Amino acid sequence: MKIIDRYLLRQFLWNFVVCFLSMTGLVVVFDAFTNLEAFLATAGSPADLLKLMGSHYGFQGLLFFDQSAGLLALVATMFTVSWIQRHNEMTALMSAGISRLRVVAPVIAAAIVINLFAAANRELVVPRYRAELTRKPNDLVGDVGQKLAPLPDYETDILLRGKATYAADQRIEQPEFLLPGSLGGHLLVAENAFYLPPEAERPGGYLLDEVKKPEGLVAEPSLRLEGRPVIVTPPDAPGWLKPNQCFVVSGVSFEQLTGGDSWQKLSSTAELVAGLRNRSLDFGAGVRVTIHSRFVQPLLDTTLVFLGLPLVLRREQRNVFVAIGMAALLVAGFMLVVMAMRYLGTISSISPSLAAWAPLMIFVPLAVGMSDAMRQ
């Protein structure tokens, strides 16, 4: 690696880190002041407050990196190139017979690596900390009840609902599960319901404790749907069910029940594909658009870099802030097209695959056409 390459890489990384920390700091300061009372109510002492806020915003930093990496890579690239042009370093290198493309090659490579890191963060890191990322400042330990929006299990037609949910122990307070007519049409009421993941031969579902309604259900045989047990009662499972308990088989996990759109946004592509195959869930076209978009996003972020570079190189722009202004306009137009296409895919006006790939089809030829300034 040549000296000029190392110089440009250091400059790019410095710009990227400064931009990331600056934007993250602004978001953290604004959000912290907005939710300060919630943090104080949760923390027991000033030391606990700092620890709690540090943990919360540390996890949120992962999400912010996922959302902003492509934009910050473009900004850092344009800052770096504008900087060397402002100090006539580009002119000196070109006078030595080095093309613009060769000069900015390490910056382009660094931007691509950042975009790949963002994709890895999106697929491997963010899903691992999904529970921490979805918690609000007033429920950082998961012991504050959250309102539960009713959600049907489409495989069994059981409507899952209750008073509140508690993330710490994956509990539903005062569950009221409405059973379909094929299972008697009863309202299944209990004191609490705990989610149990699949284990050995037992499927996943909800363990209802202190069953109140319907009376006598816990003494009857299990309720079956198409020959398989859906409401398991103590007479059929004496080894792990107490006399006042029953078990509702469901393919809807606690995170899927309580996460809503957040679960979909923070899940990996593999989890979204598994969700599409889950008969208990009914993901629409929006999730299919998201799955295709996961594959396209690194390519879109890289295309954005190739759209932004010629704006600086062609004009020999020496003013860094003018370069950032041009980048802002570019990003605005770019994002409008991407959002419009994905919206059309979500409402099924176009196919999910076309919604995800259409922006690439539009902007790649444009980037190729603008690349003459880079090859000189």
- Residue 188 β-bridge partners: 177
9 and 101 fall within a common domain: yes
255 and 349 fall within a common domain: no
82 and 42 fall within a common domain: yes
120 and 233 fall within a common domain: no
Res 26 pLDDT > 70: yes
Residue with the bigger pLDDT between 260 and 241: it is 241
End-to-end Cα separation, the chain, in angstroms: 22
How are beta strands 228-232 and 223-225 bridged, if at all? Answer: antiparallel
240 and 325 fall within a common domain: no
Cβ contact 214:199 at 8 Å: no
Residue 141 within a domain: no
Split into its structural domains, the chain has a count of 2
pLDDT at 135: 79
34 and 97 fall within a common domain: yes
The H-assigned helical ranges of 121-219 are 130-134
Residue 267 within a domain: no
Burial of 188-199, coded b for 16+ CB within 10 Å and e otherwise, reads bbbebbbbbeee
Burial class (CB in 10 A: 0-12, 13-18, 19+), 154: middle
- The whole-angstrom separation of Cα 303 and Cα 166 is 43
- The whole-angstrom separation of Cα 113 and Cα 106 is 10
Peptide bond before 203: cis, by omega within 30 degrees of 0? no
pLDDT at 342: 92
Res 325 pLDDT > 90: no
251 and 197 fall within a common domain: yes
58 and 161 fall within a common domain: no
CA distances from 17 to 12, 14, 86, 312 (A): 9, 5, 21, 21
CB atoms within 10 A of CB 305: 23
**How would residue 193 be classed by pLDDT, with cut points 50, 70 and 90?**
very high
Residue where one domain finishes, among candidates 222, 243, 259: 259
Residue where one domain finishes, among candidates 193, 226, 259: 259
**Span 281-305, mean pLDDT?**
89
- How many percent of the chain have pLDDT more than 90? 32
Cβ contact 234:242 at 8 Å: yes
| Tokens representing residue 97 in the block | 């017979």
Residue 278 within a domain: no
Write the CB contacts of 191 (distance below 8 Å, at least 6 apart in sequence).
174, 209, 210, 212
Residue 271 within a domain: no
- The pLDDT tens digits of the residues spanning 76-134 come to 888 888 888 777 777 777 777 777 778 888 899 999 999 999 999 999 999 998 888 88
What is the Cα Rg of the chain in Å? 27
Cβ contact 77:13 at 8 Å: no
* Helix (H), strand (E) counts: the chain: 13, 9
Query: Whose CA is closest to 266, among 295, 297, 282, 287?
Result: 287
Res 365 pLDDT > 80: yes
193 and 226 fall within a common domain: yes
Q: What is the domain extent for residue 315?
A: 3-136+284-375
160 and 126 fall within a common domain: no
- The pLDDT tens digits of the residues spanning 211-231 come to 988 888 888 888 988 888 899
123 and 157 fall within a common domain: no
56 and 179 fall within a common domain: no
Residue 268 within a domain: no
